[in-house]
Structure 1
Amino acid sequence: MERTGTMKTSKKMMHCFLWVLALSLIPSAFNGCGGGGGGGTSDAPKQSNNSEITVSSNQINFGSLVANQTADNSFTIQNTGTRNLVIGQISTSGAPFEIVAGSDHCSNRTLLPNQSGTIIVRFTPTANAVYTGSFVIPSNDPDESSLTVNLSGVGQGLNVTINRVDSSVPGNIRMIVSVTDANGDAVANLPNTAFTVFEEGEHKPTIVVSNADVHPVSAVLALDNSGSFWASRLEVQNSAKTFLDQLRNSDEVAVIKFAQVIQLAADFTQLTSAAEINNLKAAIDAPYTDSINATLLFDAVYNSVDRLILRNPNNRLAIIVVTDGQDYDASTLLPGSTHTLDEVIAHAQQAGVFIFTIGLGADMHTAVARRMANETGGEYLYPPTPAGLNAIYTKISQILINQYEITFNTTKLVGTLNNLHVIVDDGTMQGDDAISVTY
């Protein structure tokens, strides 16, 4: 009985084996008809066997820019195909748009699969007008052999900057606003009717505009004394001294010098007399006594904000920093500061401090200096040579003297985020600025 049972089990196993063998042969036969594959892979998407051009954007909007100033935009082209992408000569439609000389790493180049290249496009408006243009990218992409990227921007005659927003009094907003022309010179004596203010898109019909010079200026002069500035240190010092002569006797100034160490050359001194001004000038001329083999730019500006926080909050708080935009330690070739650029900007914004950056040096890091100024309500100014520093300081002093104070009532709650938009129209030229601020 046991053997019979065993034989029956063996026959069942044999039948199963034959069925499995037969079934295993069926897909092979089908595969032979299909020319390969099997295992469900015939439904998988097939990758295109071509070059494929992909760009970072099909359009670039430069926004608003004062006439004769420039704005740059970095643009990326990538080959996302499986064959080489051959790019021809890229060309723009012409002024006021251009490809920055030396920045075109794409024209007449072959990009391997997954490889990319960049170009920098520049916008330089010359008038109060709306501009449109384009640049064309020829390539061997079979689907887009000629790809067009549209360009747009607005030229303005006036540069409007919201320097500071004060919401410390519930129900009342106070803004400090500066207005300059295309040459960077302050525009003074504008009437109340030249200003239009929007809060969260709502027009504020009742505003009060006055000259902000009723509020003294508390300013820190932050002077770079690192090795890259050593050759031009006398011009830097002499021009800083002329700045003191252009402020009012109600204003106050502190002087710090920085390289590897941040030195307080002179604490805040009110410009009440010639003796006080001369003391500050002597501090500017005093030699820097620490190592010049590092540049603690970010720490120096952060430290300046800390000092301004302790001043009268009704004063207009400003930092004027002369810099090449570099923060580094020569011994490590790494950033020297403990603070980052983002931290400096956030700290200044929180304290209501606006930063004027004066760019100087052959190896100027413009992007850093621009961000530090533009995102804190200040301005970036760049003299071609150290000899132009006097004119730059004159522009800054005139901007400070001719700032406007705009006040209006609000029903927005404390702690809410609100968008403010200021438009200035003097009858022949226009300009505007916008900012998001938490009340």
Structure 2
Amino acid sequence: MKKFHLLFLIAFIFAACSKDSDNNQDEAAFENLNDQTTVAIETTIPRMEISQSGNNITILLSVTDQDGTPLEQFTLGNYTIKVYVNGDDAETIAQNKIVLSEFEQLNNKPLAAATTMDYSGSMGYYDKLEMEEALRNFIGLKNSNDLMSIIKFASTIEEVQPFTTDATLLDAAIDLKPGIGFSTAFYSACDLGLDQVNKLSNVLPVVIGFTDGYDNSSNINLDDLIDKSKNLVIPIYTVGFGGTDEDGLQYLADETGGRYFYAPTNEDISNLYQLISQQLRKLYVLDWSASYSTGTELTIEITTEYTSANGSFTSTSTKSIIIQ
């Protein structure tokens, strides 16, 4: 009888340990072998939030295919998260410490887009007409509760229409022709957009630069603009026209969590608003507890993997912040 009890106890312990082991197993990555369209994935981190005490980190991650269409149904198994503290070796965050959710289900805030329009001498006459028509189409796509502003720039900058939900006012502002010179203060226009959209509350803030990308008249340089965007956690999307500085516009968008679009025709711009709206709303939220003191510099590196019918694809995004 004692032997039976001992064997039963051993079996019970083994079963319990096996159950615990199963519960601690990492979640399998989502894959879709029926997905015939995805041939690459792109990720950005539009927002990163850290509690004032530095004990909780929240990452909002955009995951799309090569065309900017959000990819859904991902699990924790699709992600590897590493944290570099003050530049030291990386710590990999265990899956069982991370909470994954979808931003769209948690948030219905309106989009607030500060848009810049380039009237500098480097923009040709037809480039400007194309930009104006593109922005009209862009306005026509917005939801009724979404806000937009219009900032026009050349040598100087003028906010011709402050933030409003009124599409009629926005459309009328496109026709205003302010006397703002011929040089290009693109970075300063984006800087003003960051300041203005940052004053709003309960919105999804974004700056969208309609421009050829060349700058020679700003009072802020590219690196400082990028640092400001990162500190405010407001992405900058760039839309190029004419003879575009593609490398510069791509770099600005990539570094701030936005995307770059080359839009030479109205057709190319027609779905831009919907794309940006989806990318800011259809986000994955990755949340975990931490313990970092004021002044600590954190670099978060998220590697995303996904397998479609066309193969396995990987994208890595990073975001840095100093705990205040």
Q: Once the 2 structures are TM-superposed, how far is the Cα of residue 233 of structure 1 from its aligned partner? A: 2.5
Aligned length in residues: 271
Partner of 1:422: 302
Aligned-CA RMSD value = 2.6
What one-letter code is carried by the residue in structure 1 that aligns with 2:158?
Q
Q: Which one-letter code corresponds to 1:357 in the other structure?
A: T
SS of match in other structure, 1:295: coil
Following superposition of structure 1 onto structure 2, how do residues 321-336 of structure 1 map, counting pairs within 5 Å? Answer: 321-327=209-215, 335-336=216-217
CA distance in 2: counterparts of 1:406 and 1:166, whole angstroms = 11
Matches within 5 A, 1:107-122: none
- The equivalent of 2:134 in structure 1 is 239
| Equivalent residue for 2:203, pick from 309, 312, 315 | 315
173, 178, 183: which one aligns with 1:289: 178
Matched AA of 1:208: L
After TM superposition, give the deviation of residue 292 of structure 1 in Å.
4.4
Distance in 1, matches of 2:264 and 2:131, equals 13
The ranges of structure 1 where at least 4 consecutive aligned residues each deviate by more than 6 angstroms after the TM superposition are none
Q: How does 1:164-175 map to 2 (within 5 A)?
A: 164-170=47-53, 171-175=55-59
Aligned pairs for 1:7-22 (under 5 A) are: none
Could you say what secondary structure the match of 2:225 adopts? helix
CA distance in 2, matches of 1:310, 1:346: 18
Q: Residue 300 of structure 1 aligns with which residue?
A: 189
Tell whether the 8 Å contact from 2:138 to 2:272 is kept in structure 1 after alignment. no
- Deviations along 1:327-362, one digit per CA (max 9) or x if unpaired, are 1xxxxxxx2222211221122122111100111112
TM-score by length of 2: 0.74
Structure 1, residues 23-55: CA drift from partner, whole Å, max 9, x if none?
xxxxxxxxxxxxxxxxxxxxxxxxxxxxxxxxx
Contact 1:208–1:408, Cα closer than 8 Å, also in 2: no
Identify unmatched segments of 5+ residues in structure 2.
1-36, 85-90
Equivalence for 2:222: 341
Question: Cα gap change, 1:385/1:240 in structure 2, threshold over 3 Å: closer, same or farther?
Answer: closer
> Are 1:280 and 2:170 matched, yes or no?
yes
1:437 equivalent to 2:298? Answer no
Q: Look up the equivalent residue of 1:174 and give its one-letter code.
A: T
- For 1:250-292, what per-residue CA distance to the aligned partner results, in whole angstroms no more than 9, with x for missing partners? 43221111112211121112x3xxxx22222222x32222144
Give the secondary structure class of the aligned counterpart of 2:220.
Answer: coil
Aligned-pair identity (%): 24
State the alpha-carbon separation in 2 of the partners of residues 190 and 325 from structure 1: 35
SS of residue in 1 equivalent to 2:276: helix
Structure with the largest fraction of helix:
2
Which residue is 1:412 aligned to? 292
Indicate which of 159, 162, 169 corresponds to 2:45.
162
Q: Is the 8 A contact 1:236 1:389 kept in 2?
A: no
Partner amino acid, structure 1, of 2:44: T
Residue of structure 2 aligned with 1:350, choices 203, 228, 231 = 231
Structure 1 length as normaliser, TM-score? 0.56
8 Å contact kept, 1:186–1:402: yes
Cα distance change, pair 189–245 in 1 and its aligned pair in 2 (3 A): farther
Q: If you compute each CA radius of gyration, which structure gives the higher value, 1 or 2? A: 1
* CA gap 1:416/1:161 in 2 versus in 1, 3 angstroms: same
Distance in structure 2 (CA, Å) of the matches to 1:371 and 1:426: 25
Secondary structure of 1:375's aligned partner: helix
Counterpart residue type for residue 243 of structure 1: F
Where 1:221 maps in the other structure, the secondary structure is strand
Amino acid at match of 2:101: V
Q: Distance in 1 between matches of 2:43 and 2:108?
A: 20
The corresponding residue for 1:388 is 268
Task: Show CA shifts across 1:358-385 (max 9, x none).
Answer: 11112x2222212211111111121354
Q: CA deviation at 1:319?
A: 0.5
User: Are 1:223 and 2:107 an aligned pair?
Assistant: no
Correspondence 1:23-102 to 2 at 5 A: none
* Change in CA separation of 1:360 and 1:210 when aligned onto 2, cut-off 3 Å: same
| Residue of structure 2 equivalent to 1:267 | 162
